[in-house]
Amino acid sequence: MSLPKYFELANGDRMPRIGFGTWQASDEVLEKAVDAALESGYRHFDSARAYENEAALGRALRRWIGDNPARRNELFVVTKLPPGGNRPDLVPEYFNASLKDLGLDYLDMYLMHTPFAFEHVPGDLHPKSPDGSMRVDLSTDLIAVWKAVLKLREGGAVRHVGVSNVNEEQLARLCAVERPACLQVEVHALCQQPALLTAAARLGVPVVAYSPLGSKALADALAEKTGRSYPSLLSLPAVSRAAAAHARAPAQVLLRHALQRGLAAIPKSTNPARIQENISVWDFELSESEMAELGALDRGEDGRICDFSFFQGIEKHPEFPFKK
Ligand code: A2P
């Protein structure tokens, strides 16, 4: 089975289906990792204002572009509107700040990062009350924010806009205004999101899987905080069996599973060998029975890692997307 390496977007632009994730990497480590990713052939880079590392990503990308501006067109750069910017009047300000930090003339994709919102506090992307709970802005008008995000394209500084972390009902509501160019959500072997993916396919929205390898750093942090245990995706027996059968690494099996389900995926690594491994997933194929075995690993809502419980009190927001 030869799989397309790109999502074809509305104007003919192509979004590579393996992208490079950048969450939770410090500036210096990230710059080196991005250098390695570019060297390995990655051209799709996923960032977010909330990750607070756009400047480091931008430095590495600009270094690679050098004095050859044509190279910019080879890249597909994504960043996201932070939850503190989920008010229509604030959208241009947050967008311009991202563009400035990345040091680029335009973005390929800009996503609404979450349907819920924090208060807008200049200089603080994660504002908290003294008791540690998030300062949540309960007045979010999701459709008005989406319309403001859509409007960004008029200035030409962003080519495509999309959403992240929304549920089926929210996706349908946004599509009634205009279909997002992509939906980025957590999807992996333990959290396969069949209903959301079916809804996205019906609505014609391509899906990008984040945490495709199980986001170990986040899982470890949450395990320490909550006592909940998060199985390692990389050592699940069905994953190990398929890896052994194809003489591949477990991470490659997980990524191939996502690709054969029709998704794009944005694995994160700071290790050059693993960075290379994660993009070398085009020359083998999981069988129907392997796909079925991997499919049976789904734990539904219990498999979700990024449930935003690290934002204390966020479930009170009327647009909180997950089951409470
Ligand atoms: P490292 O950066 O040391 O490679 P996700 O993309 O789901 O957020 O997962 C990222 C985590 O998976 C990081 O801890 C990363 O560690 C690890 N990782 C990334 N690629 C691989 C790989 N090919 N094999 C094993 N672990 C990997």
Per-residue pLDDT tens digits for 69-119: 999 999 999 999 999 999 999 999 999 999 999 999 999 999 999 999 999
Q: Quote the ligand 1 centre to 12 CA distance (angstroms).
A: 31
Q: Does ligand 1 have an atom closer than 6 angstroms to the CB of 40?
A: no
Fold for 13-316, please state it: TIM Barrel (3.20.20)
Task: Kindly indicate the confidence band of residue 323, based on its pLDDT and cuts at 50, 70 and 90.
Answer: confident
Band of residue 31 on the pLDDT scale cut at 50, 70, 90: very high
State the pLDDT at residue 310: 93
Nearest CA to ligand 1 atom 2: 269
- Asked whether 256 lines ligand 1 (CB < 6 A), one says no
Of 6, 42, 51, 230, which one is the catalytic site residue?
51
Task: Summarize pLDDT for 182-194 with one digit per residue, the tens.
Answer: 999 999 999 999 9
Q: What is the 3-state secondary structure (H, E, C) of the chain?
A: CCCCCEEECCCCCEEECECEECCCCCHHHHHHHHHHHHHHCCCEEECCHHHCCHHHHHHHHHHHHCCCHHHHHHCEEEEEECHHHCCHHHHHHHHHHHHHHHCCCCEEEEEECCCCCECCECCECCCECCCCCECECCCCCHHHHHHHHHHHHHHCCEEEEEEECCCHHHHHHHHCCCCCCCEEEECECCECCHHHHHHHHHHCCCEEEECCCCCHHHHHHHHHHHCCCCCCHHHCHHHHHHHHHHCCCHHHHHHHHHHHCCCEECCCCCCHHHHHHHHCCCCCCCCHHHHHHHHCCCCHHHHCCCCCCCCCCHHHCCCCCCCC
Model confidence at 197: pLDDT above 80: yes
The C-alpha R_g of the chain, in whole angstroms, comes to 19
| Rounded mean pLDDT, 19-23 | 95
**Ligand 1 pocket member 22 (CB < 6 A):** no
- The answer to whether the CB of 303 is under 6 A from ligand 1 is no
**Is-catalytic flag, 51?**
yes
Output the residue whose Cα is nearest ligand 1's atom 24: 251
Q: Cα of 142 to ligand 1 centre, how many Å?
A: 33
pTM over 0.95: yes
> How many angstroms separate the alpha carbon of residue 306 from the centre of ligand 1?
16
Question: At 247, which amino acid appears?
Answer: A
Which pLDDT value is given to residue 24?
A: 80
Say if residue 25's pLDDT is above 90.
Answer: no
Highest-confidence segment of 8-12, 45-49, 229-233: 45-49
234 touches ligand 1 (CB under 6 Å): yes
Residue 274 CA to ligand 1 centre (angstroms): 7
CA of 164 to the centre of ligand 1 (A): 21
